[in-house]
């Protein structure tokens, strides 16, 4: 039950942040197929979280270079998730573009080098969800 509560809270936070971030862009300029990707990473412990946060500061530059718009990066605010949970939100032009973006990311030489030199300790549990704006959101 706790994971559903966390996931629901993360999604609500992400949508709120994403909608606020998109307000300055007119709806017509954003495109009808735009999707936000909410990614949640859970590390085994605080050491793994600290290493992941450090790596993500470099990884975010690769996202931007490859056309994956960074909306925001977050560490859970309340225990026990604050010890091991990292969430970030990316914006993609469409769901199909997201697939292409991730293919390009996986093949990127800079990412491959970063992955081998800065891997967080322990196994990461990764969850990804794609969301689209509703008709009444500020993004449309």
63-119 per-position pLDDT tens digit: 999 989 999 999 999 999 999 999 999 999 999 999 999 999 999 999 999 888 876
Q: What is the pLDDT of residue 68?
A: 93
pLDDT band of residue 138 (cuts 50, 70, 90) is confident
Burial letters 16-33, b for 16+ CB under 10 A, else e: ebbbebbeeeeeeeeeee
> Does residue 57 belong to any structural domain of this protein?
yes
Domain hosting residue 113, numbered range: 2-131
Choice between 135 and 24, residue whose per-residue pLDDT is larger: 135
Q: What is the CATH number of the domain that holds 109?
A: 3.30.70.100
> Does residue 125 belong to any structural domain of this protein?
yes
> Does residue 139 belong to any structural domain of this protein?
no
Average pLDDT, the chain: 80
> How far apart (Å, rounded) are the C-alpha atoms in residues 41 and 48?
10
Torsion sign (Cα): 103, 31, 88, 62: positive
Mean of the pLDDT values across residues 39-45? 94
* Predicted structure pTM score: 0.73
């Amino acid at each position: 039950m706790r994971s559903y509560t966390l996931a629901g809270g993360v999604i609500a936070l992400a949508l709120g942040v994403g909608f606020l971030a998109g307000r300055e862009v007119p709806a017509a300029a954003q495109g009808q197929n735009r999707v936000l990707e909410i990614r949640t990473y859970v590390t085994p412990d605080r050491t793994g979280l600290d290493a992941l946060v450090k790596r993500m500061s470099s990884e975010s530059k690769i996202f931007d270079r490859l056309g994956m718009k960074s909306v925001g990066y977050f560490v859970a605010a309340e225990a026990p998730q604050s010890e091991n949970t990292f969430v970030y939100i990316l914006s993609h032009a469409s769901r199909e573009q997201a697939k292409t973006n991730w293919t390009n990311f996986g093949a990127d030489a800079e990412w491959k080098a970063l992955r081998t030199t800065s891997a967080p300790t322990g196994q990461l549990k990764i969850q990804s969800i794609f969301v689209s704006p509703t008709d009444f959101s500020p993004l449309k």
